[in-house]
């Protein structure tokens, strides 16, 4: 079953309940296997380790497209500042970037890679897709609508549409409008996605 599409393809392939359940059941097994395989095949030699001064690790993977075509930035990436989630009343750091975009905005994979997990409609974060890229990089897209176009194990190209913006319940009341919450990790350490974004129009 084709589960993702490139920009411009019109038909959406909806996941029915059976498919969603089957994904949920298989994700845990798939993730474990993929994590081992990918760390062996992709994890070497393409990134620089964090420097001793506590600076940000550097992602050197070359091709990076914007996850959404246009946006304003809501909360930025900050490892030190504690922010309070209006909805949940939780206080934590926001190690991600929020892209303020309308509901239904198409969300693209930022690098080539392989989908390692898909969670639909989680109570705190809405739809969540995690993609493993070369060089130990993982991108995580949160707040997606239920209609997700990829499943674990799919190979994606930078720019492939993986889903659309929905609601991220834990942050839903932080803004007047919907947003995409994007996290990036390098060898398990969160890094600021904005450090690697091309300028608008480069896509």
CB of 134 to Zn ion, least distance (A): 25
Q: How many residues bind Zn ion (CB under 5 A)?
A: 4
If one asks whether residue 154 binds Zn ion (CB under 5 A), the answer comes out as no
Query: Which residue in the shown chain puts its C-beta closest to Zn ion?
Result: 181
CB of 146 to Zn ion, least distance (A): 19
Rg (CA), the chain: 16
Q: Which residues of 150-180 are buried (b: 16+ CB within 10 A; e: fewer)?
A: bbbbbebebbbbbbbbbbbbbbbebeeebbb
DSSP one-letter string for 30-71: HHHHHHHHHHHHTSSSSEEPPPTTS---EE-------SSSS-
The span of 16-24, 33-41, 56-64, 164-172 binding Zn ion (CB under 5 A) equals: 164-172
The span of 50-58, 132-140, 145-153, 173-181 binding Zn ion (CB under 5 A) equals: 173-181
Q: Which of 23, 98, 138, 162 binds Zn ion (CB under 5 A)?
A: 98
CB of 167 to Zn ion, least distance (A): 12
CB of 96 to Zn ion, least distance (A): 5
Q: Which of 85, 133, 181, 185 binds Zn ion (CB under 5 A)?
A: 181
Burial class (CB in 10 A: 0-12, 13-18, 19+), 81: exposed
- Residue 188, SS3? coil
Q: Which is nearer to Zn ion, 151 or 183 (CB)?
A: 183
Q: Which is nearer to Zn ion, 98 or 112 (CB)?
A: 98
DSSP one-letter string for 105-152: -EEE-SSSEEEEEEEEEETTTEEEEEEE-GGGEEEEEEEE-S-----T
Q: Which is nearer to Zn ion, 98 or 119 (CB)?
A: 98
The span of 36-44, 102-110, 118-126, 171-179 binding Zn ion (CB under 5 A) equals: 171-179
Q: Report the greatest alpha carbon distance in the chain.
A: 49
In the block, which residue shows the tokens 């659309």?
164
- Site residues for Zn ion, 10-49, by CB under 5 A, read none
Binding site for Zn ion (CB under 5 A): 96, 98, 171, 181
């Amino acid at each position: 079953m084709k589960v993702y599409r490139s920009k411009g393809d019109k038909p959406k392939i909806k996941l029915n309940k059976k498919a969603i359940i089957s994904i949920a059941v298989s994700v845990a097994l798939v993730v474990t296997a993929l994590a081992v395989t990918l760390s062996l095949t992709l994890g070497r030699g393409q990134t620089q380790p964090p420097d001793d001064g506590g600076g940000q690790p550097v992602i050197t993977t070359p091709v990076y497209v914007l996850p959404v075509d246009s946006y304003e930035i809501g909360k930025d990436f900050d490892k030190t500042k504690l922010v309070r989630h209006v909805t949940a009343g939780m206080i934590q750091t926001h190690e991600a970037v929020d892209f303020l975009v309308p509901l239904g905005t198409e969300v693209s994979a930022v690098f080539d890679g392989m989908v390692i997990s898909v969670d639909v409609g989680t109570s705190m974060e809405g739809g969540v897709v995690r993609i493993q890229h070369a060089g130990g990089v993982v991108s995580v897209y949160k707040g997606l609508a239920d209609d997700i176009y990829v499943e674990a194990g799919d190979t994606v190209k930078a720019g492939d549409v993986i889903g659309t913006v929905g609601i991220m319940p834990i942050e839903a009341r932080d803004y007047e409008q919907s947003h995409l919450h994007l996290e990036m990790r390098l060898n398990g350490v969160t890094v600021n996605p904005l450090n690697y974004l091309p300028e608008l129009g480069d896509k």
